Chain A
Amino acid sequence: DTEVTQTPKHLVMGMTNKKSLKCEQHMGHRAMYWYKQKAKKPPELMFVYSYEKLSINESVPSRFSPECPNSSLLNLHLHALQPEDSALYLCASSHPSGGLPYGYTFGSGTRLTVV
């Protein structure tokens, strides 16, 4: 299994809603990431988990709350989002730094629209 699976593929939520994005991988990767991607822009790193511990938070607003329940799962809990948070949210996994292969495997993303 060489895939990163993200659900849901599309999500529309109101500014007062609470929702969660889910990500799953079974490649044995011990580093997992959340990225945010706006149209025609490169992915922007949000969070990095290494061995199920949060190692990087790129100054992301607290309305985004990541969770790594185990080595295969990564969640992103959303609350009180703003319309400018509408974007493609990508999950990725890799071997932690220093390991091979260096490449990331990205999921297909969740297209989030905040209304």
Chain B
Amino acid sequence: QQQVKQSPQSLIVQKGGISIINCAYENTAFDYFPWYQQFPGKGPALLIAIRPDVSEKKEGRFTISFNKSAKQFSLHIMDSQPGDSATYFCAARVRGSARQLTFGSGTQLTVLP
């Protein structure tokens, strides 16, 4: 019940296109849903996050869409750029849990020039 399922495993997008990564969860105790971006040899960096009382959050070219009833959330990268090529992890946090984040399996995004 702690799992977060992420898809696709890999994604190739042309420059200027829209990248969409999806995550689904079962545990209704999750109360915070961040996305992390990780470049090779670096640690994950928080990209954007959303609470379940909000259906959408936008920061620049990055948007999280959240569907509480379907227990799904997704990351949309508009106008994708080669510099966005990285691995993206969705995650979820159980309120009050010392274990904090449960990560999805990751999506390797490649944006072609």
- A-B contacts counted at CB < 8 A amount to 66
Q: A residues within 8 A CB of B44?
A: 43, 90, 104, 106
Q: Is B103 an interface residue (CB 8 A)?
A: yes
Whether A94 pairs with B42 at a CB distance below 8 angstroms is: no
The interface residues of chain A lying within 8 Å CB-to-CB of B32 are: 102
Question: Which residues from chain A contact B105 at a C-beta distance below 8 Å?
Answer: 41-42
Question: What count of chain A residues pass the 8 Å CB interface test?
Answer: 29
CB distance from A14 to the nearest CB of B (A): 23
B89 CB–A CB distance under 8 Å: yes
- The answer to whether B106 touches A56, judged by C-beta atoms less than 8 angstroms apart, is no
Contact at B99–A106, with CB atoms within 8 Å? no
B residues within 8 A CB of A109?
41-43
The docked-state distance in angstroms from the alpha carbon of A6 to that of B42 is 11
State which size class the interface on B falls in.
Answer: 20 to 34
Q: Tell me whether B46 and A104 are in contact (CB under 8 A).
A: yes
With A106-B45, A108-B41 already in contact, the answer to whether A41 and B106 are too (CB < 8 A) is yes
Surface stretch bound by A, among B58-66, B67-75, B90-98? B90-98
Question: B73-92 vs A: 1/0 string, CB under 8 Å?
Answer: 00000000000000101000
Decide: A103 and B34 in contact? CB cutoff 8 A: yes
Task: Please name the residue on chain A nearest to B101 by beta carbon.
Answer: A104
Whether B103 lies near A102 (C-beta < 8 A) is no
Q: Which residue of B lies closest to A6 (CB)?
A: B43
Please give me the residue from chain A that is nearest to B104 by CB atom: A42
Q: Does B19 contact A (CB under 8 A)?
A: no
Give A109 to B45 CA distance when docked, in angstroms: 12
Given the contacts A106-B43, A108-B41, A98 and B99 also touching, CB distance less than 8 Å: no
B24 at the interface (CB under 8 A from A): no
Give the CA-CA distance A94 to B91 in the complex, in Å.
15
22 contacts between A and B (CB under 8 A): A6-B43, A40-B106, A40-B108, A41-B105, A45-B99, A48-B100, A50-B98, A88-B41, A90-B43, A90-B44, A97-B98, A98-B96, A102-B32, A102-B34, A102-B93, A103-B46, A104-B46, A104-B100, A106-B44, A107-B43, A108-B42, A108-B43
Return the 3 tightest CB-CB contacts between A and B, nearest first: A106-B43, A42-B103, A103-B46
